[in-house]
Every structure is written in structure tokens, then in C-alpha cells.
Amino acid sequence: MYNVDIGKKILSANEEFALKNRHFLAEKKKLCLNMISSPGSGKTTILARTVTELKGRLKIGVIEGDIQTEIDAKRIRAAGAVAVQIETGGSCHLSAAQVSGVLEKFPVDEVDVIIIENVGNLVCPSAFEIGESGKIAVLSVAEGDDKPIKYPALFAKAKVLLINKTDMLAKGASEDFDIERVKADAYKLNKDIEIFPVSAKTGDGMSQWCDWLVNAVEKLKSD
């Protein structure tokens, strides 16, 4: 009788494709960011706003991951960016193989940065590398301020934390959300994480996030 660790085999196969993607993107000198959050945090709205605000400064390409539908990809295209949809058919995260298949056809040379909007989930996408340059965590104030403590893996790995829907704080709609607690908990897990409170709806705070993105692209190109 043989014992086979299926989990290790799946991760090993994924890592091979992740390495392939990483080498491909490094050769092209393209920044690739893996955006992860719970469903409804506002990832797509943030991306659409980012595309709009950075017109003339950065060309953004987006890979959308969802269990089903092309709704999000259509929103990104409407904002003016190239977008490709991956439908996972039930899987709770994108795999490196799925991303590899898209990158083979993606107009990589025509964009400055590729942002991958992963399936809405705080757990599974954090465990699967897809060849990205870094992870972007998104947390909306509607979700509560305890998420870095409850789901530490993502916040420990992320380069950036976007605290979205801050307009709700201004209206008093989320009085129990302690933004300073979120920052403190995130810094305990990851002292180098960059934190930007934003409202993709109103645009508040988006310029700081956009500046970070531009600087990250320029740094990669100059290295």
C-alpha cells in the first residue's frame, strides 16, 4: 500500500508553472501583482479606478479570475485596459498553469504592469504562487478590522495593503472599524508592508497607491 501526498503533488506542479511565469516576466521586465481579498471588497472597482487615474502614465493589463462570468473583465475593458477573464469552474483560486496559459497569448509587450485579480477568497489564493512579483491585499472597512489577525498568511506576504471603502468611515457607516488597529496588526505580521487607505468610489487616497505603482514599475525597469 502506498501513501501519496496529493497536496504536495498539486503544490509541486503549481510551483513549476509559477517558476516558468516568473522567469518569463523577469525576462520581459514586467511587474506582475496578484491582488487578493474577500468577495465584495472592491478589487474590480479599485482596478478600474487605477486604470482611469493612470491613463497617460502607465499601461495596465489585467487578468481576471472568477468562478464564473466575464462581468469583471468587461468592467476593466470599459475603463480602458486590456483584460482577460479566467473562469475557474469552481476552484477557489487561480493556478499558475491557468495564468501561464493566458500569458502565452497576452499582449505583455504592450503593457507596463500586469495585475491579476484573484478569486475572492482570503485563504486559498495566498497559498498558491502564480509567478507574481508580489501580492496586493485588499480589505474593505465593511469586513471588520480583525482580518489581519484571522487570516495572517496574506498580510504577512503582501507588499501592499489597500484599505478600501474609507468613505463609509466618513459617513459613520462602519463605526466599529479601527483603521489604526488594522495598520498595527498588519505591521506586526509584515514590517515592510505599504498601507494605503483608499476609497475607489470617491477617489480619496488613490493617488498615493497609483504613485506607488508607478514607482514600482520604474524601479523594476531600471534594475
Answer whether residue 185 shows pLDDT above 90. Answer: yes
Kindly report which listed range (62-76, 109-123, 143-157) carries the lowest average pLDDT score.
Answer: 62-76
pLDDT at 7 over 90: no
Task: Measure the CA–CA gap between 211 and 34, rounded to whole angstroms.
Answer: 18
Q: How confident is the model at residue 8, as a pLDDT?
A: 53
Q: Over the stretch 129-142, which tens digit does the pLDDT of each residue have?
A: 999 999 999 999 99
Mean pLDDT along residues 59-86: 93
**pLDDT for residue 1:** 42
**Mind listing the domains of the chain with CATH numbers?**
6-222 (3.40.50.300)
Pairing of β 60-66 and β 113-117: parallel
Mean pLDDT along residues 13-28: 94
Burial class of residue 64, CB neighbours in 10 A (0-12, 13-18, 19+)? buried
- The grid cell for 169 is 468611515
> Among 18-22, 90-94, 141-145, 189-193, which is the least confidently predicted range?
90-94
The answer on pLDDT for 25 being more than 70 is yes
- pTM score: 0.91
Place of cell 502614465: 57
CB-CB contact of 129 with 15 (8 Å): yes
Q: Which of 17-26, 147-156, 175-184 is least confident?
A: 175-184
Radius of gyration for the chain, computed over Cα atoms and rounded to the nearest angstrom: 17
Q: What is the predicted pLDDT for the residue at 4?
A: 43
SS (H, E, C) the chain: CCCCCHHHHHHHHHHHHHHHHHHHHHHHCCEEEEEEECCCCCHHHHHHHHHHHCCCCCCEEEEEEECCCCHHHHHHHHHCCEEEEEECCCCCCCCHHHHHHHHCCCCHHHCCEEEEECCCCCCHHHHCCCCCCEEEEEEEHHHCCCHHHHCHHHHHHCCEEEEECCHHHHCCCCCCCCHHHHHHHHHHHCCCCEEEECCCCCCCCHHHHHHHHHHHHHHHHHC
